Amino acid sequence: MLKALAVGASLAASLVAVGSPANAAGTPRPDEEMVIGVVAANGSGCPFGSAQVTPSPDNKAFTVTYSEFTAQVGVGTKPTDFRKNCQLALDVHVPQGYTYAISGTDYRGFAQLARGATASETANYYFQGERQSTRIRHDFRGPFDGNWQRTDTVGISSLAFLPCGEQRYLNVNTELRVNAGSSNTKKTTSMLTMDSTDGRLDTVYHVSWKKC
């Protein structure tokens, strides 16, 4: 069962993604604020209270911050730790007369992979009731030790806007997976994480506006 999270955030209605159809057409920004609330979460990567949503400083995106999202194999790990996932349901209140789409995402985290180990980050997002978007996967190979960032960009012609006048949750799905491969799991630990203890490893979702 989805677990309700008492987390919410407001996103100023000046969110406009560069190069989006809304910008090209000169669509004015909404006067009202766009409000986002995390209403539910499900998955081993986001236990209750461990995921938060906040507006970006420039008000052109919103960020998701995880605090317990780590997949790992090797010394000191459990057999089920190799895969972690999280599905968030975001309740986005759009100003009247406008709609929005996710135009791109920046994923950030930390990886420590022993030689021979591999890992992957897979994600997609879609509106409730709509067909799921294509899951985009990013692969990592050891040896690796440090922060990582990957970016998904949606072409203008492929932007999936919320149907005008409808209120649906935005579902955000993310999975982390680590495979031991030829690494020595009795002596090493390999991990891939999207955890953030200092606020710098956020996942950023860029928003594009369109007038109905």
Q: Which of 176, 209, 189, 4 minimizes the C-alpha distance to 107?
A: 176
Tell me the pLDDT tens digit for each residue of 134-145. Answer: 788 999 999 999
pLDDT digits (tens, 9 = 90+) for 8-66: 333 222 222 333 333 334 455 566 666 788 889 999 999 888 888 876 655 567 888 88
| This prediction's pTM | 0.79
> Would you place residue 121 in the very low, low, confident or very high pLDDT band (cuts 50, 70, 90)?
very high
CATH architecture of 35-211: Sandwich (2.60)
Residues in the chain: 212
Residues 6+ apart with CB under 8 A from 62: 9, 11, 36, 53, 54, 55, 56, 204, 205, 207
Domain ranges of the chain: 35-211
Mean pLDDT over residues 87-94, rounded? Answer: 87
For residue range 128-172, list pLDDT tens digits in order.
988 878 788 999 999 999 999 998 887 776 788 888 888 899 999
